[in-house]
A and B are shown apart, each in its own frame.
Chain A
Amino acid sequence: MSDTVLVDILVLVLLVCTALVIVRMRGILAAVMLTGIYSFLGASWMLILDAPDVAFTEAAVGAGISTVLMLGTISLIGTQAKEPYRSPWLPLLIVTATGAALVYGTLDMPHYGDPEAPIQVYPRPGYVELVHPDTRDAFHPPGKEGAHPPEMPNVVTAVLASYRGYDTLGETAVIFTAGVAVLLLLTGGRRRKGDRP
């Protein structure tokens, strides 16, 4: 075990505690603030797992933009949640079943850091070695014919924008579509009446 195991446990325990407090909370404003804290803890956890790009996104989107959007929603709907008037048992059962199914699914996955895991052995030769400037020339001497992989110190960017550029194009289109949908839902009706903001 590494010397960061205490930090791992601390971050994970805090994550669970924050989630439990959010669930039990009736004041929406405090709950929104706590989801921001939850996102920061999630970002810390991603950083511990050596995924700074994901941590970056989690901190900027989870703690930044979505908090602002949720505050905007609160200003429209008020800050107190109503007491639940339905029995919580059915939702609890569904959530537990879904969680159990997810845990069952992870049993098939390789252990974290397993050198034989598909993520380490595919594609060959390792895309990381192919792209990183330190190891690139061994696979791809300058002047060699054929496809040139990008030379990128940040392999994540190379994978996202070049190796899986088609996926990223789809993701950008999804963001754009989501934005259009929100705009249509929130402002479309008013514009039709000629009340242009």
Chain B
Amino acid sequence: MRENRILRIVAAKLLIPYILLFGLYVQFHGDFGPGGGFQAGVIFAAGCILYGLVFGLAALRRAVSPVVLEVLGAVGVLVFAGTGVATMARGRNFLDYDAFGAHGQHWGILVVEFGVGLAVTAVMLSMFFAFAGRGKGGASG
């Protein structure tokens, strides 16, 4: 049993940083390659869930607090909607990123995708917490 646990920990420690890094790459490279906020959010959440499965739910709770996640989900949607309000404040249509100048489209898409990524990561992790925390005492999966 003990050797199994060491194997799992070593494998997870090797994998998790690259999964999180790949999530960030998909997030911020989404306008050049496949991917975007949604996929990046799911990948990032998957990296965190792997951490929770191997090291236990309590360790994951210490790393990312469920209370913060609930707030971050709402913040993600607000970032998206707030970008639209900002374009309106500058005299353009809702979500018309040209309001931000010559490279407005790039900036607008970057910010909006960040909002999507934030919301998706937070919601996916919250769901995982909700499911896993219902078991007996929330032991590791």
Listed in ascending order, the chain A residues whose CB lies under 8 Å from chain B are 52-53, 55-57, 60-61, 64-65, 68-69, 71-73, 75-76, 147-154, 156-158, 160-162, 165-166, 168-169, 171-173, 175-176, 178-180, 182-183, 186-187, 197
Contacts and interface: CB of A to CB of B under 8 A. Distances in A.
Contacts of A150: 31, 97, 105-106, 109
A55 B35 CA distance: 10
16 contacts: A56-B35, A60-B46, A76-B134, A150-B105, A150-B109, A157-B30, A161-B112, A162-B109, A166-B94, A169-B112, A172-B80, A172-B116, A175-B120, A176-B73, A179-B122, A186-B131
A186 to B, nearest CB: 4
Contacts of A187: 130, 133-134
B84 A68 contact: no
Interface in B39-96: 39, 42-43, 45-46, 49, 53, 66, 70, 73-74, 76-77, 80-81, 84, 94-95
What 5 A-B pairs are tightest by C-beta distance, nearest first? A150-B105, A179-B123, A72-B131, A52-B34, A165-B95
Contacts of A75: 135, 141
Chain A interface, DSSP helix/strand/loop, else mixed: helix
B124 interface: yes
B73 A68 contact: no
Contacts of A179: 73, 122-124, 126-127
Contact of A172 (B53, B102, B119, B129): B119
Interface residues of B, number: 56
Nearest to B94: A166
A68 to B, nearest CB: 6
A162 B108 contact: yes
A50 to B, nearest CB: 11
A174 to B, nearest CB: 10
Contacts of A175: 119-120, 123
Contact of A168 (B73, B94, B112, B127): B112
A132 to B, nearest CB: 12
A197 to B, nearest CB: 5
Contact of B105 (A64, A65, A68, A149): A149
Given A149-B105, A166-B95, A172 B115 contact: yes
Contact of B126 (A149, A151, A160, A183): A183
